[in-house]
Amino acid sequence: MDDDFRSDLRARFAEHHPGKPPRGRAERLAWQRAWCATAVDEGLAAPSWPREYGGMDLSFPHQVIYAEEAARARIPGVPGTGVGIAGPTIIRHGTEEQKQRFLRPMLRADVIWAQGYSEPEAGSDLPSLRTTARRDGDRYVVNGQKVWSSSAEIADILFSLVRTGAPDSGRDGITYLLIDAHAPGVTVRPLRDLTGDSGFCEIFFDGVEVPVENRIGEEDRGWGIARTSLGHERAAGALTQARFYDRIVNELIELAQQCGRADDPVVRQRLAGLAAKQRIMSHNAARMIATIARDGEPGPGSSTSRLFNTLFEQELHELAVDLQGPTGVLDRRDPHAIQKGRWTWGFLRTRASTIGAGTSEIQRNTIAERVLGLPHDPAA
Ligand SMILES: Cc1cc2nc3c(=O)[nH]c(=O)nc-3n(C[C@H](O)[C@H](O)[C@H](O)COP(=O)(O)OP(=O)(O)OC[C@H]3O[C@@H](n4cnc5c(N)ncnc54)[C@H](O)[C@@H]3O)c2cc1C
């Protein structure tokens, strides 16, 4: 039965596959959006989501097969950060009206979502956030600043945490709001990262009006909801990522051969270590999906997976750059760069992996306190 499911899925991915990604940024986004719409219409999107919201409602073993086949077929992902983070949060905490209104357009990428949590003075210590939302009749008026918001330059909705309580209300005065990124008073400015790309943005809210029906959950109760979000952010796509790295480890072995380093015993040992870790990634991801299927949430165990995967990504790209010797410093602008500088780009890009979705220090704190049950660090 699993074999039938796999071969059927493989055939349907092949039938509807949108082909190779185009080069330009705008063309690539249009290509991704077209695929997302087709995937929902053909019942090929969101393996774990309920069918009524555009998903496939697959059993756990079939979700694993889906991840394997999606990686094999190289189907495009959904642009923005909504599907992995805001979607599961709305499924768990949203009203039926919100689920009907937001989920399917999010999956189809008709509407693109970005996360607005971090602020210049509130990253690891997110409960100290200062962006305010003042209730005025049937709307909130939002003022403040967010930063590091991935994909915000293409977003239509910003799922955000705002302060509705007193300035010192901490976790007890935070509300979860969905803010129209095109509303008057919203300014989105891209920020350049180490790779030269602009993967994230800063956002300014100046008297932005948000209807009350865009609030997820109760006023001042957003922190508990954000925890669902943060758990899912750390878990998001872990299985797809593990399958993706299955392919990348093989490509790294080819790179070692291409660079004449495949017989070096130290290189072989490092490659074997990465291949073993890729398998651990898969098992961690499967364990997390099983937890989500059982409890509805990935829980603090998602920090284990996130920490492991991000350190793995960095180790893999460090080896890729080492293998190339001096050529490893050339990026995609240089005609002598190996494989158009993709490994160098990955090396630079993955420096940020152990910061985004909570730094590795914060993941270690979470694992210590909430997984292992160790006492809270009074210095933190
Ligand atoms: C690629 C990328 C994408 C991102 N995307 C988004 C996004 O889409 N939306 C969004 O809202 N945010 C996003 N972020 C922001 C990210 O969540 C924050 O950068 C992160 O939470 C850290 O916050 P900070 O940068 O303010 O650093 P700080 O919190 O100022 O931390 C500085 C240093 O102090 C350490 N530290 C802080 N507190 C402790 C503690 N209690 N114990 C031990 N060490 C500690 C940290 O580990 C770090 O090394 C993204 C970041 C990156 C790099």
pLDDT digits (tens, 9 = 90+) for 201-217: 999 999 999 999 999 99
* b/e map 60-81, b = 16+ CB within 10 Å: eebbbbbbbbbbeeebbebbbb
Q: Choose among 163, 288, 144: nearest CA to 226.
A: 163
Span 36-56, average pLDDT: 95
Does 131 sit in the ligand 1 pocket, CB within 6 Å?
no
CA of 352 to the centre of ligand 1 (A): 10
For the segment 297-309, what is each residue's pLDDT rounded down to a tens digit?
Answer: 888 888 999 999 9
Q: Which atom of ligand 1 is nearest to the CA of 81?
A: 8
Does 355 sit in the ligand 1 pocket, CB within 6 Å?
yes
Ligand 1 pocket test: which of 121, 188, 195, 359 has the largest number of ligand atoms within 8 Å of its C-beta? 359
For the segment 127-180, what is each residue's pLDDT rounded down to a tens digit?
Answer: 999 999 999 999 999 999 999 999 999 999 999 999 999 999 999 999 999 999
pLDDT at 239 over 90: no
- Dihedral angle sign, alpha carbons of residues 326, 332, 336, 340: positive
Listed in sequence order, the DSSP H helices in the chain are 2-16, 25-41, 60-73, 87-93, 96-107, 222-235, 238-258, 265-295, 302-323, 342-349, 360-366
* Residue nearest atom 52 of ligand 1, based on CA coordinates: 356
Ligand 1 pocket test: which of 112, 197, 355 has the largest number of ligand atoms within 8 Å of its C-beta? 355
User: Bigger pLDDT: 122 or 230?
Assistant: 122
Q: Is 79 helix (H, G, I), strand (E, B) or coil?
A: coil
Burial class (CB in 10 A: 0-12, 13-18, 19+), 19: exposed
Query: How many Cβ atoms sit within 10 Å of the Cβ of residue 93?
Result: 18
Q: pTM (2 decimals)?
A: 0.93
CA of 223 to the centre of ligand 1 (A): 17
Q: How far apart are CA 94 and CA 50, in angstroms?
A: 14
CA of 125 to the centre of ligand 1 (A): 8
What tokens were used for 229?
A: 């979000």
Q: What is the pLDDT of residue 297?
A: 81
DSSP assignment letter at 83 = I
What tokens were used for 253?
A: 């072995």
Q: Choose among 343, 350, 329, 148: nearest CA to 241.
A: 350
Residues with active-site annotation:
233
Q: Which atom of ligand 1 is nearest to the CA of 193?
A: 1
Q: What is the pLDDT of residue 227?
A: 84
Does 200 sit in the ligand 1 pocket, CB within 6 Å?
yes
Q: Which atom of ligand 1 is nearest to the CA of 124?
A: 29
User: Bigger pLDDT: 188 or 85?
Assistant: 188
